[in-house]
Amino acid sequence: MVKLSASAVACVVASTALLGATHAQASPWDCNVTGSLEKSGGPTNPIPWLNGTNGNLPELQGRTSAVEYITGALSPNQTVERFNVLGTDLGIMWDNGAGQVLTVFGDTVGIGSDLLCSGVVGDWRSNVLFRSGDGNLSDGMNIDSSPTDRPNHSREIIGSLKVTGVETSSIPTTGISVNGVQYVNYMSVRSWGGSGEWATNFSQIASSHDNGETWQVEPSSARPNLPLTGNANFQMGSFVKDGGYVYNFGTPPGRFSEARLSRVKEEAIVDAAAYEYWDGKGWVPNNPDVAVPVLDGDVSELSVQYNNYLGRFVAMYSDASGSLVLRTADQLTGPWSASDVVIGSGAVPGLYGAYMHPWSQGQDLYFLATTWSDYNVMLMRTTL
């Protein structure tokens, strides 16, 4: 039996009292939670039972299991009470180089400030960040802190205009630490389209010199999504370090394209002009248009890391069927193995995101994933 926290109970009571009220009204703030929730299939209410789910973790057969909810009303981390994070997605993780894992999330909602206007679900932020020093993941992942702008309220770390058709949201796609500085690559989403489709203005890096507390955008890193530039193929990314370089696996906006590869010297990570691109034979400087696919098929919400147990690089993502798959390679340029299905498409409907925990050890690979129906992030484990 799941024990509801005080905030979770308050959410249920308030939502029941306001039955029929929604947040899809009026302004882009508390009175209109848009972002991923509006156009990409997510619920308008991430509260269990009231959104048609029972709040239970998926029960899986075989080598993969769900460990716990990291966010939401049923999370042991009490993210509603501590950070007003009632619903969110993604959960992109990286080692900050100082004994913590930083995790950045996408469109985030909490308990709204104006229940009559927006219903209980409001307080939309395009992104938030959590910190964790938990090295024992077998029983879950404890969240230690989050950048806040007032007590018990995670703040948006990278701003957005929140104007549909101009800039709807700013969604992180990957993160990394280089020489004590934290970097997040994000996409400026112009509009959400059909399922798995959206349009972007540009991708860009933001940096933090204080462990994720404050962030500055880096204009020199911008990749405008313009025709004939090749930048369209690098609107989303997955960073991985190797041999003094930061490699970035790029994909276009959406969930229906292959992944291409670029790299840059670590010290030049925010200089878009310093990147080289893999053309299938070698590295070509400052020309993203020459990049060829290194991961074929439809690659969605990708994460890549080196796995010491396997002695190989591992890529994890959702494919066209909705399955969560894993592939390995000796080199980042490939060739990559055939897809190994970690979770089949029918096992957890609406599952997306496959962001590996950088502290996974041995045969156990931990990762974060989201379902549309719950619109919250859970820690999962699979056996290699």
Q: Say if 44 falls within a structural domain.
A: no
Residue range 290-309: average pLDDT?
98
CATH number (domain holding residue 278): 2.115.10.20
Give a yes or no: residue 187 inside a domain: yes
pLDDT, position 44: 54
Phi/psi at 293 (nearest 5 deg)? -65, 135
Answer whether residue 16 shows pLDDT above 60.
no
For residue 18, is it within any domain? no
Give the domain extent around 211.
Answer: 57-70+88-106+125-383
Q: Which two tokens stand for residue 312?
A: 């190989």
- pLDDT, tens digit (0-9, with 9 covering 90-100), for 228-256: 999 999 999 999 999 999 999 999 999 99
pLDDT recorded at residue 37:
54
pLDDT confidence of residue 36: 53
In this prediction, residues 360-364 reach a mean pLDDT of 97
Does residue 81 sit within a domain?
no
| pLDDT cut 90: percent of the chain above it | 80
For 211-215, the CB contacts below 8 A with 24+ separation are 211/96, 211/98, 211/100, 211/102, 211/131, 211/182, 212/96, 212/102, 212/129, 212/131, 212/147, 212/157, 212/182, 213/147, 214/147, 215/157, 215/158, 215/184
- Of 381 and 56, the structure prediction assigns the larger pLDDT to 381
Please say if the pLDDT value at position 118 is more than 90: no
- 327 in a structural domain: yes
Q: What is the dihedral of CA 170, 176, 181, 182, to 10 degrees?
A: 30
Residue 64 in domain: yes
Structural domain includes residue 162: yes
N- to C-terminal Cα distance for the chain? Answer: 31
Indicate whether 224 belongs to any domain.
yes
Residue 26: count other Cβ atoms within 10 Å of its Cβ.
12
User: Half-sphere exposure of 80 toward its Cβ, with a 13 Å CA cutoff?
Assistant: 26
Q: Is the pLDDT of residue 30 over 60?
A: no
pTM over 0.85: yes
Q: How many domains does the chain have?
A: 1
Contact status, residue 277 vs residue 294, Cβ threshold 8 Å: no
